[in-house]
Amino acid sequence: MHRVLTPRKVMAGAAVLLLTAGCSQETSAQWTRWGLPVGASQQSGNIGSLWSGAWTASMVVGVIVWGLIGYAVIRFRRKHRDEKPKQNRYNVPLEIMYTVLPFLIIGVLFLYTVRAQDAVMAHSGNPDRTIMALGQKWSWTFNYYEQDNPAVGAVIHNAGTIENYPDLYLPVNQKILFKIESNDVDHSFWIPEFYFKMDAIPGRTNTFEVTPTKLGTYLGKCAELCGAYHSQMLFNVHVVTLPEYYAYLNDLKAKGQTGEIPVNPQTTAVPVPSAKETTK
């Protein structure tokens, strides 16, 4: 018995091919993470689970809602021009359900959100490394506090500019305490693969602890609209082995980049145009 290819079957097959032909293995894997990049820190699993759970819950609720809408459209459709559906002033069981179910959904999401937040904001109390990320218009300065480490023996700094993105080196599988500071306006320190960001607020020190778990180079950025050159507040993140981390810091030390660059309000990475220049 031979199968007949109808136009409908041909169109359905073509649609499937169009949807899948342009998807690489990497893109397909990203769909399983609901658009997130591959996590590169120990803490990313908590946020990844929360993200996937929220999307799954949203999809389930969406399917149920659209299913009920479809059922109502088909089941109670008007059969005659003058026919009107039965009118009810209220339905107590339905109104109770419509009130209770959203609170249950919000309660479950809130519970898992708090659990994920507590996990990613937890401090061990004994970090392996301490680094300050100092945001200023419009770049980043990094201070590595290695003065008590015989392998380095100094505080090392690396300051970026709007023309030259700074490098941030992190040793893999090491607990790193970040101190987030700002020199001028609100910034936000963000490494997408870590599934985490922290605001840099003038006059306040924010902290978080992270353990990188995946070797590689990533792009960090500012996630807070902070001014004219906000899009240039980028930095390169290098997750390397511990010997490579020490080698990088000692190279900066040999170049004379020692000592802490402190928080200094109103310090900028590029000159601010004067009023005369802006009117030209």
Q: Domain ranges for the chain, please list them.
A: 38-121, 129-254
Mean pLDDT computed over 94-105:
90
Of residues 191 and 39, which shows the higher confidence score?
A: 191
Pair of tokens at residue 158: 């690396």
Cα separation, 93 vs 97, in Å, equals 6
Identify the pLDDT of residue 73: 86
pLDDT exceeds 90 at position 169: yes
User: How does 253-263 read in b/e, with b if 16+ C-beta sit within 10 Å?
Assistant: beeebbebbeb
User: Which of 76-90, 97-111, 115-129, 219-233 shows the lowest mean pLDDT across its residues?
Assistant: 76-90
Identify the pLDDT of residue 98: 86
pLDDT exceeds 80 at position 25: no
- Share above pLDDT 70 across residues of the chain, in percent, rounded to a whole number: 82
Amino acid occupying residue 227: G
Cα separation, 227 vs 254, in Å, equals 35
Query: Looking at the domain that runs over 38-121, which CATH code has it been given?
Result: 1.10.287.90
Confidence at 278, pLDDT banded by 50, 70, 90: very low
Of residues 73 and 254, which shows the higher confidence score?
A: 254
Confidence at 277, pLDDT banded by 50, 70, 90: very low
**Do the Cβ atoms of 240 and 215 come closer than 8 Å?**
yes
Confidence at 77, pLDDT banded by 50, 70, 90: confident
Given strand 139-146, what is the order of strands in its sheet?
154-159, 139-146, 129-136, 176-182, 206-210
Identify the pLDDT of residue 24: 66
CATH architecture of 129-254: Sandwich (2.60)
Amino acid occupying residue 117: Q
